[in-house]
Amino acid sequence: MSPGAIVRMAREAEGLTQAQLARRLGITQPSVARLEAAGDNVTLASLQRALNVMNRTLELRSAQMPSSVDDTQIIEALRLTPGERIERHDASYAEVRALANELQPQIARARVA
Amino acid sequence: MPEWRKFAAGPILRRLDVAGVEFVVIGGIAAIAHGSPQITQDLDIVYATGAANLERLGRALQDLNATLRGVTDDVTFVPDARALKRVRVLTLDTDDGPLDVMVQPDGSTGYDQLLAGSIEAIVGGTAVRVAGLDDLIAMKKAAGRPKDRIYVEELEAIKRLSGR
């Protein structure tokens, strides 16, 4: 959500008009309209001040990006010993290689056609 | 579309062990030993740089019919102890697939450090040393390629899921 949208949603939640919020901030109604329409282009200080006059605080936090790792495959692998995992890899590689090399001519023919 | 070359880590590891080579497995195969579900197309090892070990590694590489990967001209290259003494990294093709041998990959200080943090893996009856999770994560972070970043995510997940 953009900072401008946060201001608009907070104002609406407080039941304030843009003119009423403008009076609390000591600015004009068109300035509030511009603030809400500015999207991401609002400074942290302006956002904080706008929220404070509506008796709200701004909370910022950083969080890790969601992982793209499939835990279930790892959990399954962890049931094996390190050596068994390498042996399983060798077997899987041989299967995938055989399949890939078998399909390659068909894919090449399909591309030509 | 690139051809999938013959590759099996087990037979290469066995030949290195039979020759008495002191080495630690790193890279994709090490990540797989820890639980990564990925498929990799080569084996990476870090070796001890003592003279006797270079002799053993040189003999093992010749036994594996190792040649420089991607070199198609008629330059004769024998991966013996003398050659190993002069290089820090060799990317090779062997009878059992691609093998990269190196002295000090980015993110590590080399064999002694990796051996200290390593774990054991018994592959087809052969005991080999595999770089520990934290060392592996440090090396993958230092390498920094997109595929390394995926490995880092996986290795962090392995740490979390295995309580290490």
pLDDT digits (tens, 9 = 90+) for A6-65: 999 999 999 999 999 999 999 999 999 999 998 778 888 999 999 999 999 998 888 766
Delimit the domains of chain A by residue range: 3-52, 71-112
Is A81 an 8 Å CB contact of chain B? yes
The pLDDT of B80-93, averaged and rounded, is 92
Could you tell me if A94 and B17 are in contact, meaning their C-beta atoms sit under 8 angstroms apart?
A: no
Q: Residue written as tokens 């000090």?
A: B104
SS (H, E, C) chain B: CCCCCCCCHHHHHHHHHHCCCCEEEEHHHHHHHHCCCCCCCCEEEEECCCHHHHHHHHHHHHHCCCEECCCCCCCCCCCCHHHHHHCCEEEEEECCEEEEEECCCCCCCCHHHHHHCCEEEEECCEEEEECCHHHHHHHHHHHCCHHHHHHHHHHHHHHHHHCC
Residue B161 has pLDDT above 80, yes or no: yes
For residue A64, what is the nearest residue in chain B, using CA coordinates?
A: B153
**A-B C-beta contacts closer than 8 Å:** 86
Its ipTM equals: 0.94
Q: Which of residues 16-55 of A touch B (CB under 8 A)?
A: none
Q: According to the model, what pLDDT value does residue B163 have?
A: 82
Measured distance CA(B41)–CA(B63) in Å, rounded: 21
Domain A3-52 fold is: 434 Repressor (Amino-terminal Domain) (1.10.260)
Q: According to the model, what pLDDT value does residue B121 have?
A: 98
Structural domains in chain B?
9-155 (3.30.460)
- Give the nearest partner residue to A82 out of B124, B130, B161, using CB atoms: B130
